[in-house]
């Protein structure tokens, strides 16, 4: 009888157990390693983006500061402080859902300051499109000066409707009653804006009018826009007022005429710097005009922009045209206002934007006026803001408040001061204005301005090692040109 002997034995139980144990350890180690590697890489990518953004911000701040006009050159400087309490910020451990509703947030106060000044615009160009269907601006002609503005923007929803102010946390609902994403709700998503508003000379000032044609209707000539903003007349059937054009970022050219002999309410020929001097004589609408040109302190209302940018590339433009083909004209694929609204978008994911200044404010001996910024008892530079408002000698003018019937009196605005009720209603904690004619050797203009901002990655995963809060801090000190 033939007998088969199977000499091929299987693994023993011990071998299998050892193999499983080794495999388990290997899997665990590999999992930990890849997990940490993945985390390190994503963190690295996030930090790289934040650092890249910070460089873009600091470089632009520096370039603009180098162009800043001193009071000797009719410059104007504004610093507006605002702290918005209880703003939700993405927690580092939180996750963002597809509807962008944040599941895990922390709440804290966020600073939303503004910085405004006048620059030499000789080497700058306006960006707003010059026609309804065009996507580039033209030279501003004899725009010798421009107003630079930095501050948080107010993002529009995707459909550009139902604008919600920064920090209000207001919910909006679509036609079916479902809440829609409010892009301004979470501080981590706030967008820092920058806009140069060009002050274009008018023909009567002796210069030829070589200007960008920012109107779509040729009927409106530049001469008709003296003291007004020029921009698009129609926004999808809506004819915006001048401040709408400004607040929607639809224009960045303002035609002005320097004629200081014709000032006051009802005047049509102003220089922006004269308007500041004549502030108290202006009626409210013109006061708003001035502040509208210089800053955006009213009604939580900042530059309103859309980050929905179909024009970022041709592919995206085609996608946008496809998705909007029912609402778009065949010959009018998408509107240049989208371009205009995109221009003020400077840097995304900036929560805090803090502007402080160092100035020679205190006159009491032994501190001054000594031609040096004030310092505390330890000799440290005092950085003034609405937290530490400088109180000069009574009757002494240090700053011109943005909303005061009196020319030289109070320097600041507080929520307890009824005289400034209008401004308080309009979202300002404190506003400091340095005037163009404060150009003596003992000028009150600050020496230094310190800008601090907190940058986030989109997922809010970066945490500051300084305060263990989401985001990374950056600081920039700029020298202010004095007389």
Partner 1 sequence: MTYTRCQLYPMRRWTKGFSLVEVLITISIFAIGVVAVASIVPTATYLQKQTVQDVTIHGLSHNIKAFLKGRPFTYRNGGVLDLNGTDSEATFHKDHVGAGIYDYSSVGDHVADHVALSVAVPLPGYVYGYLTVNDRSYPAVAEDPSNRDFYWIPLVQDVNGDPENPDWRVYVFVLQGGGQYDLSTQYNGHEIISESNRANPASDISNYTDDEDYSFFPPVPHDMFSPIPHVVSIELDDPEDSVGGLRFDFDNRHDSDTPKDDPDQVRIGDQILDSNGVIYQVTDADSDGVIVDSIIRDVPHWPNRIWYGRPASRVDPSPTRQILMVTDGVLK
Write out the residues near partner 1 by the rule CB under 8 A: 2-8, 11, 15, 18-19, 22, 26, 29-30, 33, 36-37, 40-41, 44, 47-48, 51, 54-55, 58, 62, 358, 366, 368, 370-373, 378-381, 383, 447-448, 450, 452, 464, 466-467, 473-480
Q: Which residue has the tokens 């006051």?
A: 264
- Give phi and psi for 448, each to the nearest 5: -135, 150
Minimum CB–partner distance for residue 54 and partner 1 (Å) = 7
Q: 236 vs 378, which CB is nearer to partner 1?
A: 378
Q: 201 vs 356, which CB is nearer to partner 1?
A: 356
Q: 13 vs 284, which CB is nearer to partner 1?
A: 13
Q: 106 vs 288, which CB is nearer to partner 1?
A: 106
User: CA 134 to CA 212: how far, in whole Å?
Assistant: 12
Minimum CB–partner distance for residue 64 and partner 1 (Å) = 13
Q: 463 vs 477, which CB is nearer to partner 1?
A: 477
Pairing relationship of beta strands 179-180 and 172-173 according to DSSP bridges: antiparallel
Q: 5 vs 418, which CB is nearer to partner 1?
A: 5
> 417: buried, middle or exposed (CB in 10 Å: 19+, 13-18, 0-12)?
middle
Minimum CB–partner distance for residue 447 and partner 1 (Å) = 5
Q: Give the CA radius of gyration of the chain.
A: 28
Q: Which residue has the tokens 């206002």?
A: 337
Pairing relationship of beta strands 229-230 and 192-201 according to DSSP bridges: unpaired
Minimum CB–partner distance for residue 354 and partner 1 (Å) = 9
What are the residues whose beta carbons fall under 8 Å from the beta carbon of 318, sequence distance 6 or more? none
Q: 243 vs 473, which CB is nearer to partner 1?
A: 473
Minimum CB–partner distance for residue 397 and partner 1 (Å) = 22
Alpha-carbon dihedral sign for residues 469, 470, 474, 475: negative
Contact 214, 128 (CB under 8 A): yes
- Residue 192 pairs in a beta bridge with 152, 347
Q: 8 vs 239, which CB is nearer to partner 1?
A: 8
Minimum CB–partner distance for residue 477 and partner 1 (Å) = 4
Contact 354, 111 (CB under 8 A): yes
**CA neighbor of 423 nearest in space, from 273, 246, 288:** 288
User: CA 431 to CA 413: how far, in whole Å?
Assistant: 7
DSSP 166: T
Q: 40 vs 100, which CB is nearer to partner 1?
A: 40
Minimum CB–partner distance for residue 90 and partner 1 (Å) = 19
Minimum CB–partner distance for residue 324 and partner 1 (Å) = 40
User: CA 59 to CA 57: how far, in whole Å?
Assistant: 6
Minimum CB–partner distance for residue 365 and partner 1 (Å) = 9
Q: Which residues of 59-85 are buried (b: 16+ CB within 10 A; e: fewer)?
A: eebeebbebbbbbeebbbbbbbbbbbe
With residue 475 as reference, give the H or E element that holds it: strand 472-479
């Amino acid at each position: 009888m033939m007998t088969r002997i199977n000499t091929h034995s299987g693994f023993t139980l011990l071998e299998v157990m050892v193999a499983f144990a080794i495999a388990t350890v290997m899997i665990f180690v590999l999992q930990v390693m890849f997990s940490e590697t993945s985390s390190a890489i994503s963190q690295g990518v996030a930090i790289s983006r934040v650092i890249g953004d910070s460089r873009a911000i600091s470089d632009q701040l520096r370039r603009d500061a180098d162009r800043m006009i001193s009071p000797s050159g009719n410059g104007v400087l504004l610093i507006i402080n605002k702290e918005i309490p209880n703003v939700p910020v993405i927690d580092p451990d939180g996750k963002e859902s597809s509807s962008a509703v944040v599941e895990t947030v922390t709440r804290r106060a966020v600073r939303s300051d503004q910085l405004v000044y006048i620059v030499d615009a000789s080497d700058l160009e306006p960006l707003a499109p010059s026609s309804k269907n065009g996507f580039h601006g033209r030279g501003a002609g004899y725009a010798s000066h421009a107003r630079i503005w930095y501050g948080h923007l107010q993002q529009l929803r995707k459909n550009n409707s139902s604008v919600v102010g920064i920090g209000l946390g207001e919910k909006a609902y679509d036609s079916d009653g479902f809440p829609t994403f409010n892009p301004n709700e979470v501080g981590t998503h706030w967008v820092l804006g920058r806009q140069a508003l060009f002050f274009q000379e008018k023909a009567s000032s002796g210069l030829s009018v070589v200007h960008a044609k920012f109107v779509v209707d040729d009927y409106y000539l530049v001469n008709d826009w003296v003291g007004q903003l020029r921009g698009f007349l129609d926004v999808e059937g809506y004819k915006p007022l001048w401040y709408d054009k400004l607040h929607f970022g639809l224009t960045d050219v303002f035609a002005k005429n320097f004629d200081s002999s014709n000032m006051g309410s009802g005047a049509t020929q102003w220089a922006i710097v004269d308007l500041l001097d004549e502030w108290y004589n202006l009626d409210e609408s013109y006061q708003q005009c001035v502040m509208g040109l210089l800053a955006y302190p009213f009604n939580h209302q900042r530059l309103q922009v859309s980050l929905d940018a179909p024009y970022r590339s041709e592919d995206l433009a085609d996608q946008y045209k496809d998705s909007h083909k029912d609402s778009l004209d065949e010959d009018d694929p998408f509107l240049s206002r989208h371009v205009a609204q995109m221009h003020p978008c400077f840097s995304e994911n900036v929560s805090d934007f803090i502007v402080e200044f160092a100035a020679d404010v205190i006159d009491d001996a032994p501190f001054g006026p000594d031609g040096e910024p004030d310092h505390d008892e330890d000799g440290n530079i005092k950085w003034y803001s609405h937290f530490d408002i400088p109180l000069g000698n009574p009757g002494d003018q240090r700053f011109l408040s943005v909303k005061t019937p009196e020319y030289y009196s109070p320097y600041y605005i507080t929520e307890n001061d009824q005289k400034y009720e209008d401004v308080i209603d309009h979202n300002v904690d404190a506003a400091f204005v340095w005037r163009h004619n404060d150009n003596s050797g003992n000028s009150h203009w600050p020496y230094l301005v310190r800008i601090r901002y907190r940058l986030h990655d989109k997922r809010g995963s970066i945490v500051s090692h300084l305060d263990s809060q989401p985001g990374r801090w950056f600081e920039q000190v700029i020298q202010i040109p004095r007389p």
